Amino acid sequence: MKTILRHLVLCSLPLVFAAGSGYYFTTIQGSCGAMVGALFSGKCAGRQRQYLARFQLGGAAAGTVIAATLGAWLEHRRRRAVQKTTAEQPTTPVGEPS
């Protein structure tokens, strides 16, 4: 169950980063009518959607890189712990001839 939750969290990181960057973009951008006026607001809306898509794509890319790095580090840590426990077990029982 712990492994499933770990994978679920790692897989959701790109989505969380994309949503967060999209939310950040909407908070820093004003409305098109207020920025350029009523005459150019139609062109501004299309451009704003393009920038929003780029922000979300960048956030998803950053989330993917972070998830891959975190997953590799966790897997390396788990393998090291497994190797440490198997190395501590004796291969032949003590007192018996080999």
Contact predicate 35/84, CB 8 Å = no
Alpha-carbon gap, residue 58 to 96, rounded angstroms: 62
Give the pLDDT of residue 90.
59
pLDDT > 70 fraction of the chain, expressed in percent and rounded? 82
Give the pLDDT of residue 36.
78
Give the pLDDT of residue 5.
85
Alpha-carbon gap, residue 24 to 20, rounded angstroms: 6
State the DSSP code for 39: S
Alpha-carbon gap, residue 76 to 14, rounded angstroms: 21
Tokens 């956030």 found at: 59
Residues shown for the chain? 98
pLDDT (tens digit per residue) in 25-39? 888 887 777 777 777
pLDDT along the chain (98 residues), means of 10: 83 92 87 76 83 92 92 82 66 60
Give the pLDDT of residue 89.
62
Tokens 């794509």 found at: 57
